Amino acid sequence: MTIMFPSLHEFNLNNGLSSTREPIRRTLSKMKGMFHDEAAFRATLSAGDPLVYEFYDMAVPETEKDVAYGTSITYPGKVGDEYYMTKGHFHTIIDTAEIYYCLRGHGYMMMETPEGDTEWREFLPGKAVYVPGRWAHRSINVHPTEPLVTFFAFPGNAGHDYGTIETKGFRKLIVERDGKPTVVDNPRWSA
C-alpha cells in the first residue's frame, strides 16, 4: 500500500482561498442552461464572464477510507432574479454523504433525492449542513455583497455526477422576490 504523509494546507477564513493550492474556477460561461432565465443569462454573459464560484480538489486518494476536503466559495450576484450558485451534483457513489461548515456569508444548501424529495437548509457562519447519501446538493449565495464560504468533507471515493443535474436541473430554485430569497418551483424542470 501507498503511505501518504501528513500534509498542511491553509484556507483563509475571510475569503476562503488557499495560499497553498490552485482552485478550480467556474465562470458563468461554464454554467449554460443552469439558470432558469436564458435571456438574462445571455445578457449577463454579453457584458463579460464573471467568476460564479470556485472550490478546491486537494487530490486525496479516491478511496472510501480517505477524506476529500476543501473550501467552496460562491460569489454574490444574480442572473435575472436567480442567485449565483454552484452547478450542484449527486455523488457518483450515490449513497456517500458530505458535510459543509459555513465560514462566511449567507446562503442555502439546496438538496433533492432521485425520488423527488426536496429540502433546503440555511448557511450562516458557524452552521454546519450534513448532506446524507442520495441527496444531490447545490450551494446558493443570497447575500448582496459577501461571498458564501464553506468548508466541505466527503469520502474520497464519492465522485461527482454533474450530468444528471445539468440535464434535468433541480426541482426547486431560490430567487429574489420583493428583495428576499424565496424558494420556487423550477419552471424548466423536466422529469
Provide the binding-site residues for Ni ion, judged by CB under 5 A.
Answer: 98
* Rounded Cα distance, 189 and 179, in Å: 24
Least distance in angstroms from the C-beta of 138 to Ni ion: 9
**Nearest residue to Ni ion on Cβ basis:** 98
* Rounded Cα distance, 106 and 122, in Å: 8
- Which CB atom, from 98 or from 112, has the smaller least distance to Ni ion? 98
* Rounded Cα distance, 147 and 72, in Å: 10
- The grid coordinates listed for 83 are 442567485
**Is residue 1 packed enough to be buried (19+ CB in 10 Å), middle (13-18) or exposed (0-12)?**
exposed
Reference 68, options 97, 110, 102, 41; nearest CA is: 97
The amino acid at residue 177 is R
Least distance in angstroms from the C-beta of 95 to Ni ion: 12
176 touches 81 (CB < 8 A): yes
Residue with cell 464573471: 50
Least distance in angstroms from the C-beta of 150 to Ni ion: 11
Least distance in angstroms from the C-beta of 160 to Ni ion: 6
* Rounded Cα distance, 84 and 34, in Å: 10
- Which CB atom, from 84 or from 100, has the smaller least distance to Ni ion? 100
Least distance in angstroms from the C-beta of 48 to Ni ion: 28
- Which CB atom, from 81 or from 162, has the smaller least distance to Ni ion? 162
- Which CB atom, from 54 or from 98, has the smaller least distance to Ni ion? 98
* Rounded Cα distance, 164 and 116, in Å: 13
Least distance in angstroms from the C-beta of 74 to Ni ion: 14
